[in-house]
């Protein structure tokens, strides 16, 4: 079920929407944006974390931090 509502947005924001969204796509864009901003689903979050974990630059960054996080701590 969809609910129709009237909202007020700044002129520059509307101009960006008209320029960047396909015809008849503004409602879909706003709906998806609000859904993601207000409450991402656990499934979407899990998928995002899994995808991020596979990125090489993140893995390299984690390796760099490993040395810093344990620096100066006694080894057991």
| Domain coordinates in residue numbering, the chain | 1-39, 41-76
pLDDT at 53: 92
* Tokens at 60, concatenated: 């390299």
The pLDDT of residue 14 is above 80: yes
What pTM, to 2 d.p., does this model score? 0.49
Q: How confident is the model at residue 30 (pLDDT cuts 50, 70, 90)?
A: very high
Cα radius of gyration (the chain)? 21
Report the number of secondary-structure helices (H) and strands (E) in the chain. 4, 0
How do residues 42-72 score in pLDDT, each as one tens digit?
998 899 999 999 999 999 998 888 877 777 7
């Amino acid at each position: 079920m969809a609910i129709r509502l009237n909202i007020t947005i700044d002129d520059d924001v509307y101009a960006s929407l008209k320029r960047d969204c396909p015809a008849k796509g503004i409602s879909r864009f706003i709906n998806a944006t609000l859904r993601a901003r207000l409450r991402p689903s656990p499934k979407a979050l899990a998928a995002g974390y899994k995808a991020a974990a596979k990125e090489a630059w993140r893995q390299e960054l984690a390796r760099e931090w490993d040395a810093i996080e344990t620096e100066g701590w006694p080894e057991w």
